[in-house]
Amino acid sequence: MVLLVSPSATDPQALFEEHVVPQLEVLYRTARSITRNQVDAEDLVQETLLRAFGAIDRFDGRYPKAWLLTIMRNANINRARKKVPDLLDDPELTFERSTRFAETDTPEQVVVEPVFDATVHSAFNRLPESFKQVVELVDLQGLAYQESADLLDIPVGTVMSRLHRARKRIRTEIAEYGLDSERTPT
């Protein structure tokens, strides 16, 4: 390939190190949110890096995170086509089968932050994987609904319904533990 502009202005290595390498952790976390496991997440990041490096000369240097997430989205669509998706389980069915807290007496202790957090995380861990995906993308990665939808290649309405149902399930467990107030949920 012949460089048409001065090499210093578009040195791919320098551009990559400046714009992409600082985003590695964000990319990995996002990939882990999408794939739900470490090995696939690493594969997805590597594929994203390969594509990003191939396209770095066309990147204008603005919004590297958004640019990289778009690349990851396309890489993920490609990956999902090659592989039988393991997220096809119906969340409605699988969640109801999953284990729940054993019945205990209503805790009498005052509301303490660690108990609240632990209950939230415990409830989160028992959510269907497809629900965890959107919760992580929105609440942890701070992505907008539309960004999450683009990344997962699903309608924004699906992002909303999964996210909102996930939070309501967590909220139900909070209520079961009497962690919100004496008020019973309606």
When the beta carbons of 67 and 88 are compared against another protein, the nearer one is 67
Q: Residue 98 is encoded by which pair of tokens?
A: 């999953």
Q: Residue 34 is encoded by which pair of tokens?
A: 């999408």
Least spacing, CB of residue 166 vs another protein, in Å: 9
Least spacing, CB of residue 32 vs another protein, in Å: 8
When the beta carbons of 13 and 84 are compared against another protein, the nearer one is 13
When the beta carbons of 45 and 73 are compared against another protein, the nearer one is 45
3-class DSSP state of 106: coil
Long-range contacts of 89-98 (CB under 8 A, 24+ apart): 89/128, 89/129, 89/130, 91/127, 91/128, 91/130, 91/131, 91/162, 91/165, 94/128, 95/126, 95/127, 95/128, 95/131, 95/169, 98/126
Least spacing, CB of residue 139 vs another protein, in Å: 4
- Asked if residue 20 lies in contact with residue 68, where contact means CB atoms within 8 angstroms, the answer is yes
Least spacing, CB of residue 131 vs another protein, in Å: 12
User: Which residue ranges make up the site for another protein (CB under 8 A)?
Assistant: 12-13, 16-17, 20-21, 24-25, 27-29, 32, 38, 42, 45-46, 49-50, 53, 116-117, 120-121, 124, 135, 138-140, 142, 144-145, 160, 163-164, 167, 170-171, 174, 180-181, 183
